Structures are given as structure tokens and as C-alpha cells.
């Protein structure tokens, strides 16, 4: 992996992480949850269920 490629990946991960944190905060606020203890979990099916769409759990 080149330095430029790593730099691009690091930037993509940083932006993705920021967007996920913002989304988690918005969902928590919509549900009336206060504070900073909330999470989003993306469940990705494996095995016989690989053709099933991933499910987002907030």
C-alpha cells in the first residue's frame, strides 16, 4: 500500500466515522436518549443468509 493510498483510506475512515457518530446522535435524540452512550450496529448476514440486506440497529 502506498502512502497516498493509505492517506485516502484514512480520510475515508475518518469521514465515515464522523458521519456514523452524527447519525447515532440524531437517532438517540429522536428517541429521547440524553448523554453520549449510544451506538449503531450494522448486522451483516453470513453463510446461508448472505443475500439478505444488512440491518441497522440503533
- The count of domains in the chain is 1
- pTM of this prediction exceeds 0.75: no
Phi-psi region at 29: left, alpha or beta (left = phi > 0; alpha = psi -120 to 50): alpha
- The Cα–Cα gap between 16 and 13 comes to 5
Per-residue pLDDT of the chain (58 residues; tens, 9 = 90+): 899 999 999 999 889 888 888 888 888 888 888 777 777 777 777 788 777 766 666 5
**Grid cell at residue 43:** 448486522
Domain that holds residue 16: 3-57
In this prediction, residue 57 carries a pLDDT of: 62
Amino acid at each position: 500500500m502506498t502512502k497516498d493510498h493509505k492517506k485516502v483510506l484514512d480520510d475515508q475512515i475518518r469521514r465515515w466515522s464522523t458521519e456514523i457518530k452524527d447519525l447515532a446522535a440524531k437517532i438517540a435524540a429522536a428517541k429521547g436518549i440524553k448523554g453520549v452512550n449510544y451506538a449503531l450496529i450494522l448486522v451483516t448476514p453470513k453463510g446461508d443468509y448472505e443475500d439478505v440486506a444488512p440491518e441497522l440497529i440503533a
